[in-house]
Amino acid sequence: MDPTVVFITGCSSGIGLHLALRLASDPSRSFKVYATLRDLSMQGPLWEAARSLGCPPDSLETLQLDVRDADSIAAARARVTEGRVDVLVCNAGRSLMGPLEMHTASTVAAVLDVNLMGTVRMLQAFLPDMKRRHSGRILVTGSSGGLMGLPFGPVYCASKFAIEGLCESLAIQLLPFGVHVSLIECGPVRTAFLEKQEGGLGGTLDSMDPETRDLFSCYQRHCAQVMSEKAQDPDEVAEVFVAALRAQRPALRYFTSEDFLPLVQLRLSDPSGLSYIDTMHQALSDDPPPAAQQ
């Protein structure tokens, strides 16, 4: 039986790396994984872990791919020797945290380009073949920040809210083609995602007004506490991807943790938005918010 061909973006670290290893080392040996990285000089940790796990040599291959570049995407797709991709995992992403007025236009554009347009480019490249074959699965790394606005994360949340609409729309129209779209909704995960965010943490803080600086400092402390108490290991998150991949009828959304669901339900239960805003505003000064960016 031919292996299931899985193509994953953003595999230099974090969720992408752990998912690639999880599938490549699966005891069933039923997956062929193409793990892509923007910079192939960063592939060392992936191969070191693959060797320690005893991944079969033909179960994993790395490719250079930059989701900002359509030519890079096309070149990587052409390297898939099986000639098809059964499962596309859109995982590459960037974070951005801090007061909106502190972000440069180029920083905002870079985050939107990777998180939103990068996903669009990947879908445009791989969807036509899936539709022709009437078969395929698309897994997209979602976020609590795509389901509810998070303080000091307006650009990141904007990109993830857009991903929610993109995937929900596609899930409806692709159903007749046998192509299923699923969002893997993550809360805080123990990765270097926040540390590697675009433009550095918070941008130019020295020039912001004192009140905003104090609020942001408070939120940073809250995020650190949430990460220490609630963050999931990427291996745990990878298992949710695997469950979605193997589901007979995939759902649109899979939640890696139930910790932030009460806030999502609060947001949906009050269309005015006042209850949610009051709750999250209180979290800036008192209790830590139940979810941080991922």
Active-site positions read 156
Does the annotation flag 29 for ligand binding?
A: yes
Does the annotation list 17 as a binding residue? yes
Angle at CA of residue 233, ends 227 and 238, nearest 5°: 135
53 marked as part of a ligand binding site: no
Rounded CA gap, 129 and 135, in Å? 9
DSSP for residue 154: H
CA separation for the pair 234, 186 (Å, rounded): 10
Q: 135: annotated binding-site residue?
A: no
**Cβ pair 221, 202 in contact under 8 A:** no
Strand partners, 183: 140, 253
Q: Is 38 annotated as a binding residue?
A: yes
Q: Is 13 annotated as a binding residue?
A: yes
Distance in angstroms (rounded) separating the CA atoms of residues 188 and 195: 13
Question: Does 118 count as an annotated binding residue?
Answer: no
Distance from C-alpha of 263 to C-alpha of 269, rounded to nearest angstrom? 10
Closest CA to 20 of 82, 100, 89, 72: 89
Question: Which DSSP symbol is given to 161?
Answer: H
The answer to whether the annotation marks 20 as part of a ligand binding site is yes
Q: 243, exposed or middle or buried, with CB in 10 Å at 0-12, 13-18, 19+? A: middle
Supply angle C-alpha 67, 97, 162, rounded to 5: 50
177 is in an annotated binding site: no
Q: Distance (Å, rounded) from C-alpha 267 to C-alpha 265?
A: 5
Residue 28 annotated as binding site: yes
21 is in an annotated binding site: yes
Report phi then psi at 76, rounded to 5.
-65, -40
14 carries a ligand binding annotation: yes
Residue 207 marked in a binding site: no
**Residues flagged as binding site for substrate:** 143
**Residues flagged as binding site for NADP(+):** 10-38, 66, 160
**Residues flagged as binding site:** 10-38, 66, 143, 160
